[in-house]
Chain A
């Protein structure tokens, strides 16, 4: 698989990142070198090998169902560029 200009534009759009031509070129190069490396890894025969999902052999930590009733709305909204009566205010998004 090779990353071309169209692919990089699509990924950028999906990630809401604006790239100029120079940046696009750089990313094409960088991402292709990553993919080349993955290609190299693909040469290893992994038939009958379970995918590795856990290198620490620890298990998923779980918590009890206890709610902390702290109202941190001020803290949460502190960095919001725009807010109104406890809501975040963002440019209109309508489907």
Chain B
């Protein structure tokens, strides 16, 4: 078990569960017709329902219900035909109703599971307890004025799916992989835009520590983390804090914590003694939500191919490793791009691994460097396919292909055009390569002597010289073979 962390005295195991809040991708809010658009001017998308004006009644958005069902199916979960909306009561300035409409005892989606894949080829299931629908709250700005808090209700009433996991997660990395996987599934399903910066996807983390084999320790909950980096940081800090307390003979107090992103530390929220007294009860304004088997069936049949299915298909069709296939399928735009590339030429199916490498290392690093996204990549899948074809048929070397890709990226030309214009075709003519090697050998008699005296490292020097003369176009394997042959003949 290398998942343990070392304290001063003992080894400890982390026990982690996540509550993910995913904003439902919809035009209008869960119980009102206000727009859900992000970044509009404050309080411009607030209906009388969202502002909790007296006498206003909620009417549920049919599409949001379908989105939740769809997500449930994607999480391999049980869809409940009958669910109930409850009021979760608490006071806060950005919650005008004084309660959040949520689901407590009867959520719309029950138990499910998702699989995470490790680099070493193994995988692990994380169990889902439930998914329920609820309203988001408004947004408070605390730091604009020393004595005031400013409130914007645009987000108030937007539909959220809360996805609760079992405490099956054991390391910060697993937590990161789990939320990435959930994000990936949501984006394939198109039920959430997955934008963590804008808060469309955020998580509360429950964490405790124990000696391996012991029963669960007392947990603390870290609220509202909106990046994978912060989730890992917060878990690491909080686990260390708990271990220090336990090893010095103290005990953990169950608490709700906030994570300070600039200091990297967690601290307890105030008002904790009343924090969990939400007095849930069924919302008398809303009848129970019933969904027929037929409706569920219809939604099920509309579900696109999900990352895990796609992953298995890639492994089977293209003999890719589990890890390569999971990297390709993590984001829909990546798997789409791969599909388009590999289908652009029938030959490429036999070079799937090369296609993966060119997308996930060369193209990705160029996109990163230029702050661009695969969606608006200047290199189309067809053009990348053409480039890879040129490599696989030995027309250009891999090394030159990198320069060609950069050129394609900045000029928008095709690989063929660039190779033809610059005369980059690989030299595969034995005689021509041999001629260059003879030249190099003749020009460097001392080096040849040293090489023959046992300085094997000099082989690289000769290769370099010969490449220089061919402007990098000699087929590297042929060059190496002929060079060794010729040098050894001298012996």
A-to-B contact residues, CB < 8 Å? 13-14, 16, 53-54, 58-69, 71-73, 76-77, 82, 84-95
Contact = CB atoms under 8 A, between A and B. Distances in A.
Given A60-B286, A87-B141, A93-B93, 10 more contacts: A60-B289, A63-B59, A64-B62, A65-B61, A65-B62, A65-B63, A65-B64, A66-B28, A76-B46, A95-B270
B287 A88 contact: no
Interface string B87-124: 00101110000000000000000000000000000000
B65 A76 contact: no
B152 interface: yes
A88 B43 contact: yes
Interface in B27-56: 27-28, 33-36, 41-48, 51
Contacts of B92: 93
B60 A60 contact: yes
B63 A54 contact: no
Contact of A65 (B26, B148, B149, B282): B26
A52 B333 CA distance: 48
Contacts of B290: 59-60
B16 interface: no
Chain A interface mostly = loop
A14 B98 CA distance: 11
Contacts of A62: 59-62, 65
B269 interface: yes
Contacts of B84: 53
Interface in B226-284: 258, 269-271, 274, 277, 279, 282
Contacts of B269: 95
28 contacts: A13-B274, A16-B91, A53-B84, A60-B60, A60-B290, A61-B59, A61-B60, A62-B60, A62-B62, A65-B26, A65-B64, A66-B33, A67-B27, A67-B35, A71-B41, A71-B44, A72-B44, A72-B48, A73-B46, A84-B148, A86-B41, A87-B42, A88-B151, A88-B153, A92-B145, A92-B147, A92-B149, A95-B270
A68 B34 contact: yes
B211 interface: no
B44 A14 contact: no
A31 to B, nearest CB: 14
Contacts of B43: 73, 76-77, 86-88
Nearest to B159: A65
B44 A91 contact: no
Contacts of A60: 60, 286-290
A65 B288 contact: no
A63 B61 CA distance: 5
B288 A68 contact: no
Contact of A68 (B33, B147, B277): B33
Nearest to A58: B287
A92 B144 CA distance: 10
Contacts of B10: none
A93 B9 CA distance: 41
Contacts of A93: 92-93, 140, 142, 149
B288 A84 contact: no
A61 B58 CA distance: 10
Contacts of A65: 26-28, 61-64
Nearest to B267: A95
A66 B59 contact: no
Contacts of A94: 142, 149
Interface string B11-33: 00000000000000011100001
B150 interface: yes
Contacts of B33: 63, 66-68
A87 B94 CA distance: 11
A87 B89 contact: no
B27 A89 contact: no
Contacts of A87: 42-43, 141, 150-152
Contacts of A54: 287-288
B146 interface: yes
Nearest to A84: B150
**What 3 A-B pairs come out closest when comparing CB atoms?**
A65-B63, A87-B150, A67-B28
B148 A89 contact: yes
Most buried by A among B43, B46, B84, B288: B43
A48 to B, nearest CB: 18
A59 B287 contact: yes
A71 B50 CA distance: 13
Contacts of B93: 88, 90, 93
A53 to B, nearest CB: 5
A55 to B, nearest CB: 10
A69 to B, nearest CB: 6
A6 to B, nearest CB: 14
Contacts of B286: 60
